[in-house]
């Protein structure tokens, strides 16, 4: 994209560091260190579930593979592509901040949020398919899976809904954050560089988590 | 319940198993070392604080080499700790090791009582009779939540975990009656899930065991169940259904569909009866029905005893 | 806003009155007070449960409360004391107040996040109170499955949600502290010049950030099991109840280091001040804090020696548990060595600090006893373990907390409390504590299991001794409530440095102004530059 916006933008509000900081540089460093630490805690959070899942996967390989085969690989794959693309668009948005390319920033943020929303919509479709096929062992709904793997498949689908559900919640929060960035960008708020960087890091984490969730859940049967 | 707690009234805790004294030696050595360390440290702290109190006119110049001193006491501490670790680990591994020719007793814990079944079929509730000087193996199962089999006089403890069998070994070394406690919180009457372990002379134990009202031995009871539940239809000799033979399988490796191999122990047999589809034997179809809900834990104990007897597994009668 | 002709100097307390100014503050010092008040309330709530427990246990029979109630009481005691008192205690009160002051900053890195932390704590607290009012839980604070997920009748979901929310409060506080210490130190304040209190809270913050999320997910899985019916720990569908224990203790063991490391930081500050001497082995002390934090993540399996983990795993976890005790030993020896050739006085904070060292040593050494696998088989789940952790948590941490409160009270309030009463309370607490908990070591060895409402008669004598100590301890805890409050109004005004201590926090008025320092401090000397020890090599220089 060689197009750069030359439309004059309203002057950004004069940026001053927050009272506890001595300089904008210090504030930026603090902000980025902060988000990295938060990401570390998120990794431990999801890591706990990944670990638990892996223990059961190792204990019941056949059952988990059979259950995994019932997931919609096409929809899951499309969603993976969508999320990876959204990380790209988020990076492009981040790149547009320093050169003050407001139009590009706004555009890419909007696309990112849109891609996130499409992901959630597709996930919703998948969920409804699974509920319809009686593969959702939630709220005492009927669960049907051929013997001999019924009980462990139930375990697999418990993990499926827990993991993808938690991921979806995090993605939703990410979309809200991106939309907030969008509003700030439109208004020409100060310190956009730091804020968009932080939002971007969070978004990339949500993407990264999916990069682990997808093979663990969807690709269990497809190896070798 | 209060009356049922009459126990030998020795002031400290009796050491009633062969390993108990060794545990005590370790425990009291540790306690002694702890006390020594606390005395030394408090002595130093109070001593220094008083000697060097604010207005005392004493020499306060020093050139104690800090790092060297720290290294010395860290290494010293480490050495002592490693020695204790090795001693304890050694004893622990021994505690957890199977005893040869052990008398096997099955225990089932459930909210909030203990049930014990001896090999000859005699069972008891909240009491466990064992013979002096004979190695005992208790196979522990629970019907609901986690419990813990704790006999302080034996210095023995093992949790009962739902879905598996655990084992604990000990050799009683002192006649008497000792407390049995449940040591893992299991709900409302956890503190009332208590009993007594009664150690008797071997001859008396035999008498007691035989006085069980003529109950049949566990393997015989198991054989009857094997028939009445229909197991014999598929697993018996001459069956036209393709089902693995059970003769001689106990304790041996079993190849499963999917490539793994497991040892046919109590847990394996239990799982095969309850959820056979989880571990289908290689070369067979998963057609064995589940007996979950149709067999009690006591039934499982009897069936397992029967299948063991097909391997010539001899426990004491 | 006061406009009297001769008004007291503006400080963080009097610059604004009114509850709204407190509830919307982003000043770390005020947030510290918000925590202090709420933590104190929870402390007495958990203490009330303990009082009832000790009252009941004075007799073998169940004659004070019903068994259902007793089981809920000990669970409430654990949940409240661990998550609503011990975990936040020093970091959220003293840490919040002092860390920016000690590093010469105007506030923490993220003041609004700081306030959010407190609100999360309160929301978690509300859930917990709701749980208690709606009937409580009887799972113990450890929530073992399958009892908690499939069998328990109480308010497990409320309890678990309360803890998860408060856990996020912890994570955010930890995050704030790490960034503050990394990015906001005054010029000249290198890492090697940081007070050990800062190091201690820094190490604690790392544990908070990395361990608490695992607790969150573990408890969330229980909640999902109860609400949605998914059976991750249900043995009937192939779930493993022992896996829960691994996940739970992966957090809860590091959590005990969250609870003790800040106390160690406080003790280093107090001992150096009242012995007028540099800490012995500063590098070793800082290193020990980090080593405890790191190794603390590797020992969780020592809670599962008889729970179903393999003998090999047990041996490995035992070895690592012995390792983690070595840095603690270094700290204890170094504190003693700090007194050597010092110039010691015995004001209230010093009494608490000395009490800490002794009692923590007992607790820590009995930790060695339980780390010895063969012994733990006997004493696991008995009163021996209860005594062990109360020696560390109460004999150690609570005493350090009180010591810290008494040390920095003049800084926080500008007032001094009557030292005589301070010492009376400290000694009362020390005596009451030992009376209450020492007999429990013996009880545990003799075989009395924990979480027992009724017990065999032969255990009564020791239980009576323990219950007799409890009121003494309670009086010890109530006394400071009285005289500290008294000092707020009638205590003598304290200057900026009544203890003549080193440390940046003492270089600013008491109470500090809103932005902490009127002028940016620049650090040129090493920490604890009290002038002692005099080295032979500098004796000539005098």
Give a three-class secondary structure readout of C435-494.
Answer: HHHHHHHHHHHHCCECCCCCCCHHHHHHHHHHHHHHHHHHHHHHHHHHHHHHHHHHCCEC
Q: Is the pLDDT of residue A223 over 80?
A: no
Inter-chain residue contact C456 with B179, CB threshold 8 Å: yes
Contact list in A for residue B275 (CB cut-off 8 A) is: 151
Rounded Cα distance, A115 and A130, in Å: 23
Length of chain A: 224
B287 to chain A: nearest residue by CA?
Answer: A148
Give CA B86 to chain center in angstroms. Answer: 22
Measured over the CA atoms of residue C256, residue C261, residue C264 and residue C269, the dihedral's sign is negative
Inter-chain residue contact B54 with C343, CB threshold 8 Å: yes
pLDDT band of residue C439 (cuts 50, 70, 90) is very high
How much is the average pLDDT of C400-412? 97
- Percentage of residues of chain A with pLDDT beyond 70: 93
Q: In what order do the strands lie in the sheet with B156-160?
A: B127-131, B194-200, B176-182, B147-151, B156-160
- CB contact, 8 Å: C196 with chain A? no
Rounded Cα distance, B135 and C183, in Å: 65
Inter-chain residue contact A33 with C179, CB threshold 8 Å: yes
Contact list in A for residue B278 (CB cut-off 8 A) is: 60, 63, 148, 151-152
B83 contacts: CB under 8 Å, gap ≥ 6: none
| Strand B103-110 with B136-142, pairing | parallel
Helix (H) or strand (E) holding A201, with range, is helix A192-218
Q: Exposure pattern of B240-263 as b/e (b: 16+ CB <10 Å)?
A: eeebbebeebbeeebebeeeeeee
Q: Is the pLDDT of residue C442 over 70?
A: yes
Distance from CA of B277 to the nearest CA of C (A): 12
Measured over the CA atoms of residue C371, residue C374, residue C375 and residue C378, the dihedral's sign is positive
B-facing residues of C in 301-360 (CB < 8 A) are 305-308, 311, 314-315, 318-319, 322-323, 325-326, 329-330, 332-337, 339-346, 354, 357-358
Q: Is the pLDDT of residue B4 over 90?
A: no
pTM: 0.89
Neighbours of A117 (CB within 10 A): 16
Smallest CA-to-CA distance from B190 within C450, C264, C48 is with C450
**What pLDDT, on the 0 to 100 scale, is given for residue C146?**
93
In a domain, A211, yes or no: yes
Inter-chain residue contact C361 with B189, CB threshold 8 Å: no
**What pLDDT, on the 0 to 100 scale, is given for residue A9?**
42
- Percentage of residues of chain C with pLDDT beyond 90: 86
**What pLDDT, on the 0 to 100 scale, is given for residue B9?**
47
Name the CA dihedral angle for B188, B189, B191, B194, rounded to a multiple of 10 degrees: -150
Rounded Cα distance, C34 and C12, in Å: 13
Neighbours of B143 (CB within 10 A): 15
In a domain, A147, yes or no: yes
CATH code, domain with C359: 1.20.210.10
- Select the residue from B191, B276, B293, B297 to test the C interface by mutation, using most C Cβ atoms within 10 A: B191
Length of chain B: 317
Q: Write the residue in B61, B63, B146 that is nearest to C147 by C-beta.
A: B146
Distance from CA of A28 to the nearest CA of C (A): 10
pLDDT band of residue A4 (cuts 50, 70, 90) is very low
- CB contact, 8 Å: C18 with chain A? no
How much is the average pLDDT of A169-181? 96
Rounded Cα distance, B134 and B199, in Å: 10
Question: What is the total count of domains within chain A?
Answer: 1
Inter-chain residue contact A155 with C229, CB threshold 8 Å: no
Between A52-56, C220-224, C229-233, the lowest mean confidence (pLDDT) is in: C229-233
- Domain of C51 in residue numbering reads as 25-532
| Strand B194-200 with B127-131, pairing | parallel
Q: Is the pLDDT of residue C413 over 70?
A: yes
**What pLDDT, on the 0 to 100 scale, is given for residue C532?**
75
**What pLDDT, on the 0 to 100 scale, is given for residue C6?**
56
In a domain, A132, yes or no: yes
Between A78-87, C373-382, C528-537, the lowest mean confidence (pLDDT) is in: C528-537
CATH code, domain with A165: 1.20.120.80
Smallest CA-to-CA distance from C337 within A178, A86, B116, B68 is with B68
Residues paired with B170 in a beta bridge: B136
- CB contact, 8 Å: C110 with chain A? yes
Using beta carbons and an 8 Å cutoff, which residues of A are at the interface with B?
60-63, 147-152
Smallest CA-to-CA distance from B302 within B144, B117, B57, B135 is with B117
In a domain, C32, yes or no: yes
Neighbours of B70 (CB within 10 A): 21
Q: Exposure pattern of C488-520 as b/e (b: 16+ CB <10 Å)?
A: eeebeebeebbbebbbbbbbbbbbbbbebbeee
| Strand B127-131 with B123-125, pairing | unpaired
Q: What share of chain B is helix, strand, coil (3-state, %, to 5)?
A: 40, 20, 40
Rounded Cα distance, B125 and B194, in Å: 10
pLDDT band of residue C207 (cuts 50, 70, 90) is very high
DSSP characters for B277-301? GGSPBTTS-S-PPP-TTTS-HHHHH
Query: Average model confidence (pLDDT) for chain B?
Result: 87
Helix (H) or strand (E) holding B194, with range, is strand B194-200
Contact list in A for residue C217 (CB cut-off 8 A) is: 45-46, 48-49
Inter-chain residue contact A44 with C213, CB threshold 8 Å: yes
- Domain of A32 in residue numbering reads as 27-218
Inter-chain residue contact C326 with B150, CB threshold 8 Å: no
Inter-chain residue contact C247 with A52, CB threshold 8 Å: yes
- C106-136 pLDDT per residue, tens: 999 999 999 999 999 999 999 999 999 999 9
- B184-217 pLDDT per residue, tens: 999 999 999 999 999 999 999 998 888 765 567 7
Q: Is the pLDDT of residue A6 over 70?
A: no
Q: Is the pLDDT of residue A10 over 60?
A: no
pLDDT band of residue B244 (cuts 50, 70, 90) is confident
Smallest CA-to-CA distance from C475 within C425, C534, C412, C435 is with C425
Cα→Cα distances B85→B30, C174, C289, C294, C329, Å: 11, 34, 23, 20, 16
- Select the residue from A18, A29, A44, A59 to test the C interface by mutation, using most C Cβ atoms within 10 A: A44
Rounded Cα distance, C272 and C403, in Å: 13
In a domain, C12, yes or no: no
Query: With contact defined as beta carbons under 8 Å apart, do C362 and B7 qualify?
Result: no
Q: Is the pLDDT of residue C443 over 50?
A: yes
Domains and CATH numbers, chain B: 1-47+98-215 (2.60.40.420), 218-309 (1.10.760.10)
Inter-chain residue contact B61 with C325, CB threshold 8 Å: no
**ipTM field:** 0.91
B-facing residues of C in 231-270 (CB < 8 A) are 235-236, 238, 240-242
Neighbours of B62 (CB within 10 A): 16
How much is the average pLDDT of C13-35? 92
pLDDT: which is higher, C132 or B267: C132
Query: With contact defined as beta carbons under 8 Å apart, do B172 and B102 qualify?
Result: no
Cα→Cα distances C250→A15, B184, C226, C387, Å: 44, 19, 22, 22
Neighbours of B130 (CB within 10 A): 24
Inter-chain residue contact A45 with C515, CB threshold 8 Å: no
pLDDT band of residue C534 (cuts 50, 70, 90) is low
- C464-509 pLDDT per residue, tens: 999 999 999 999 999 999 999 999 999 999 999 999 999 899 999 9
**What pLDDT, on the 0 to 100 scale, is given for residue B2?**
37
In a domain, A126, yes or no: yes
In a domain, A112, yes or no: yes
- CB contact, 8 Å: C341 with chain A? no
User: Please, where are the H alpha helices in chain B?
Assistant: 20-51, 66-95, 202-210, 218-228, 231-235, 266-275, 297-309
Smallest CA-to-CA distance from B130 within B178, B181, B182, B193 is with B178
Q: Write the residue in C183, C230, C250 that is nearest to A30 by C-beta.
A: C183
Inter-chain residue contact A62 with B275, CB threshold 8 Å: no
In a domain, A89, yes or no: yes
Angle at A29 between CA A23 and CA A33, to 5 degrees: 150
Number of Cα atoms under 13 Å in the Cβ half of residue C233 = 31
In a domain, C188, yes or no: yes
A150 exposure class (CB count in 10 Å sphere: 0-12, 13-18, 19+): middle
**What pLDDT, on the 0 to 100 scale, is given for residue B309?**
84
Contact list in A for residue C171 (CB cut-off 8 A) is: 38, 41
Rounded Cα distance, C3 and C368, in Å: 61
Question: Cα(first)–Cα(last) distance of chain B, in Å?
Answer: 32
Question: What is the total count of domains within chain C?
Answer: 1
How much is the average pLDDT of C248-252? 96
- Select the residue from B3, B31, B61, B83 to test the C interface by mutation, using most C Cβ atoms within 10 A: B61
**What pLDDT, on the 0 to 100 scale, is given for residue C526?**
87
Smallest CA-to-CA distance from C266 within C335, C181, C196 is with C196
In a domain, C353, yes or no: yes
**What pLDDT, on the 0 to 100 scale, is given for residue C535?**
62
B216 exposure class (CB count in 10 Å sphere: 0-12, 13-18, 19+): middle
Chains near C with 3+ CB pairs less than 8 A apart are A, B
Rounded Cα distance, C536 and C539, in Å: 5
**What pLDDT, on the 0 to 100 scale, is given for residue B211?**
75
Q: Is the pLDDT of residue A14 over 80?
A: no
Q: Write the residue in A26, A41, A161 that is nearest to C209 by C-beta.
A: A41
In a domain, A145, yes or no: yes
Inter-chain residue contact C307 with B34, CB threshold 8 Å: no
Query: Average model confidence (pLDDT) for chain C?
Result: 93
Length of chain C: 542
Give CA B277 to chain center in angstroms. Answer: 29
pLDDT: which is higher, B158 or A97: B158
Q: Is the pLDDT of residue A11 over 80?
A: no
DSSP for residue C15: S
Q: Write the residue in B41, B44, B148 that is nearest to C381 by C-beta.
A: B148
pLDDT band of residue B65 (cuts 50, 70, 90) is confident
Which long-range contacts (C-beta less than 8 Å, at least 24 apart) are formed by B4-7?
B4/B126, B4/B194, B4/B195, B4/B196, B5/B179, B5/B194, B5/B196, B5/C456, B5/C457, B6/B177, B7/B176, B7/B177, B7/B178, B7/B179, B7/B196, B7/C456, B7/C458
Cα→Cα distances A149→A68, A154, B286, C232, C468, Å: 12, 8, 10, 15, 58
Rounded Cα distance, B282 and B259, in Å: 8
**What pLDDT, on the 0 to 100 scale, is given for residue C79?**
97
User: Please, where are the H alpha helices in A3-60?
Assistant: 24-59
Chains near A with 3+ CB pairs less than 8 A apart are B, C
Contact list in B for residue C356 (CB cut-off 8 A) is: none
**What pLDDT, on the 0 to 100 scale, is given for residue B212?**
61
Rounded Cα distance, A216 and A68, in Å: 9
**What pLDDT, on the 0 to 100 scale, is given for residue C509?**
92
Measured over the CA atoms of residue C24, residue C30, residue C36 and residue C37, the dihedral's sign is negative
Neighbours of C108 (CB within 10 A): 27
In a domain, A18, yes or no: no
C17 contacts: CB under 8 Å, gap ≥ 6: none
- CB contact, 8 Å: C242 with chain A? no
Inter-chain residue contact C369 with B34, CB threshold 8 Å: yes
Inter-chain residue contact C329 with B26, CB threshold 8 Å: no
């Amino acid at each position: 994209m060689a197009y750069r916006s030359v439309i004059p933008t309203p002057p950004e509000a004069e940026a001053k560091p927050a009272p506890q900081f001595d300089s904008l540089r210090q504030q930026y460093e603090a902000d980025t260190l902060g988000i990295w630490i938060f990401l570390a805690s998120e990794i431990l959070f999801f890591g706990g579930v990944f670990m638990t899942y892996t223990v059961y996967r190792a204990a019941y390989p056949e059952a988990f593979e059979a259950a995994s085969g019932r997931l919609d690989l096409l929809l899951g794959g499309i969603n993976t592509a969508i999320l990876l693309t959204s990380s790209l668009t988020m990076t492009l948005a981040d790149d547009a901040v320093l050169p003050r390319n407001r139009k590009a920033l706004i555009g890419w943020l909007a696309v990112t949020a849109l891609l996130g929303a499409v992901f959630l919509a597709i996930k919703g479709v998948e969920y409804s398919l699974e509920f319809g096929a009686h593969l959702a062992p939630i709220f005492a709904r009927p669960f049907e899976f051929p013997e001999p793997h019924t009980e462990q498949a139930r375990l697999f689908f418990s993990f499926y809904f827990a993991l993808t559900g938690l991921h979806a919640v995090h993605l939703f929060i990410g979309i809200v954050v991106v939309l907030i960035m969008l509003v700030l960008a439109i208004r020409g708020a100060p310190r956009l560089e730091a804020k968009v960087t932080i939002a971007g890091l969070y978004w990339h984490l949500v993407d990264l988590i999916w990069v682990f969730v997808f093979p663990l859940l969807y690709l269990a049967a497809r190896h070798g | 319940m209060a009356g049922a707690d009459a126990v030998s009234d020795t002031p400290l805790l009796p050491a009633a198993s062969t390993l108990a004294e060794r545990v005590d030696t370790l425990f009291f050595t540790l306690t002694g070392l702890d006390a020594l360390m606390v005395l030394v440290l408090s002595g130093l702290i109070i001593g220094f604080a008083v000697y060097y109190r604010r207005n005392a006119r004493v020499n306060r110049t020093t050139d104690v080499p800090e790092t060297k001193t720290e290294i010395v006491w860290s290494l010293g501490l480490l050495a002592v700790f490693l020695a204790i670790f090795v001693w304890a680990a050694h004893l622990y591994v021994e505690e957890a090791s199977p005893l040869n020719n052990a008398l096997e007793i099955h225990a089932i814990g459930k909210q909030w009582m203990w049930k014990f079944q001896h090999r000859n079929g005699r069972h008891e509730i909240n009491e466990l009779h064992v013979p002096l000087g004979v190695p005992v193996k208790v196979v522990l199962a629970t019907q609901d939540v986690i419990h813990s089999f704790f006999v302080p006089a034996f210095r023995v403890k093992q949790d009962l975990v739902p879905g598996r069998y655990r084992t604990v070994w000990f050799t009683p070394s002192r006649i008497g009656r000792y407390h049995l406690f449940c040591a893992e919180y299991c709900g409302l009457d956890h503190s009332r899930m208590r009993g007594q372990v009664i150690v008797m002379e071997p001859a008396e134990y035999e008498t007691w065991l035989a006085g069980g009202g003529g109950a049949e031995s566990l393997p015989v009871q198991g054989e009857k169940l094997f028939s009445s539940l229909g197991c014999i239809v598929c697993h018996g000799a001459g069956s036209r259904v393709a089902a693995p033979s059970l003769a001689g399988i106990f304790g041996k490796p079993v190849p499963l569909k999917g490539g793994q191999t497991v040892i046919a122990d109590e847990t394996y047999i239990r799982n095969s009866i309850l959820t056979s589809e989880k571990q289908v034997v290689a070369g067979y179809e998963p057609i064995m029905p589940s007996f979950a809900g149709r067999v009690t834990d006591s039934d499982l104990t009897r069936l397992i005893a029967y299948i063991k007897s097909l391997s010539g597994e001899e426990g004491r009668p | 806003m006061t406009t009297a002709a001769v008004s007291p100097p503006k400080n963080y307390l009097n610059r604004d009155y009114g509850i709204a100014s407190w509830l919307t503050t982003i000043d770390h010092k005020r947030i510290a007070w918000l925590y202090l008040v709420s933590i104190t309330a929870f402390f007495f709530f958990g203490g009330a449960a303990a009082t009832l427990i000790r009252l009941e246990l004075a007799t073998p029979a169940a004659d004070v409360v019903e068994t259902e109630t007793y089981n809920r009481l000990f669970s409430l005691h654990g949940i409240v004391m661990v998550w609503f008192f011990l975990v936040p205690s020093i970091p959220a009160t003293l840490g919040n107040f002092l860390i920016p002051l000690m590093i010469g900053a105007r506030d923490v890195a993220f003041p609004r996040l700081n306030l959010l932390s407190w609100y999360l704590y309160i929301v978690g607290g509300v859930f917990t109170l709701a749980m208690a009012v709606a009937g409580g839980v009887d799972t113990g604070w450890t929530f073992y499955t399958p009892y908690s997920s499939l069998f328990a009748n109480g308010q497990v979901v409320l309890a678990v949600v309360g803890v998860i929310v408060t856990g996020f409060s912890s994570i955010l506080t930890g995050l704030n502290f790490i960034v503050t210490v990394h990015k906001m130190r005054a010029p000249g304040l290198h890492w090697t010049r940081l007070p050990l209190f800062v190091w201690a809270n820094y190490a604690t913050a790392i544990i908070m950030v990395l361990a608490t999320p695992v607790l969150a997910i573990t408890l969330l899985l229980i909640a999902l099991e109860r609400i949605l019916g998914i059976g991750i720990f249900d043995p009937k569908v192939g779930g493993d109840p022992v896996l829960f224990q691994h996940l739970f203790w992966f957090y809860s063991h590091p959590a005990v280091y969250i609870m003790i490391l800040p106390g160690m930081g406080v003790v280093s500050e107090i001992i150096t001040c009242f012995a007028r001497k540099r800490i012995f082995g500063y590098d070793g002390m800082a290193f020990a804090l980090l080593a405890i934090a790191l190794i603390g993540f590797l020992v969780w399996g020592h809670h599962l020696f008889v729970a179903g983990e393999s003998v090999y795993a047990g041996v490995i976890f035992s070895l690592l548990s012995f390792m983690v005790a070595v840095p603690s030993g270094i700290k204890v020896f170094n504190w003693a060595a700090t007194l050597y050739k010092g110039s010691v006085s015995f004001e209230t904070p010093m009494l608490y600090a000395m009490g800490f060292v002794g009692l923590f040593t007992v607790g820590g050494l009995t930790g060695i006893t339980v780390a010895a696998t063969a012994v733990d088989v006997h004493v696991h789940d008995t009163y021996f373990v209860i005594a062990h952790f109360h020696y560390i948590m109460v004999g150690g941490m609570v005493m350090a907390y009180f010591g810290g409160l008494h040390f920095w009270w003049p800084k926080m309030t500008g007032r001094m409390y009557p030292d005589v009463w301070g010492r009376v309370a400290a000694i009362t607490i020390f005596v009451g504590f030992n009376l209450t908990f020492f007999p429990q070591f013996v009880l545990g060895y003799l075989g009395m299991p924990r979480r027992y409402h009724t017990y065999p008669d032969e255990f009564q004598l020791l239980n009576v001794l323990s219950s007799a100590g409890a009121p003494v301890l309670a009086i010890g805890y109530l006394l400071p409530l009285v005289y500290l409050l008294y000092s707020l109004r009638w205590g003598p005004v304290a200057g900026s440095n009544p203890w003549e201590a080193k440390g940046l926090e003492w270089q600013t008025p008491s109470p500090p102004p809103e932005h902490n320092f009127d002028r940016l401090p620049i650090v040129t000397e090493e920490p604890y530059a009290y002038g002692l020890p005099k080295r032979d090599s500098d004796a000539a220089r005098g």
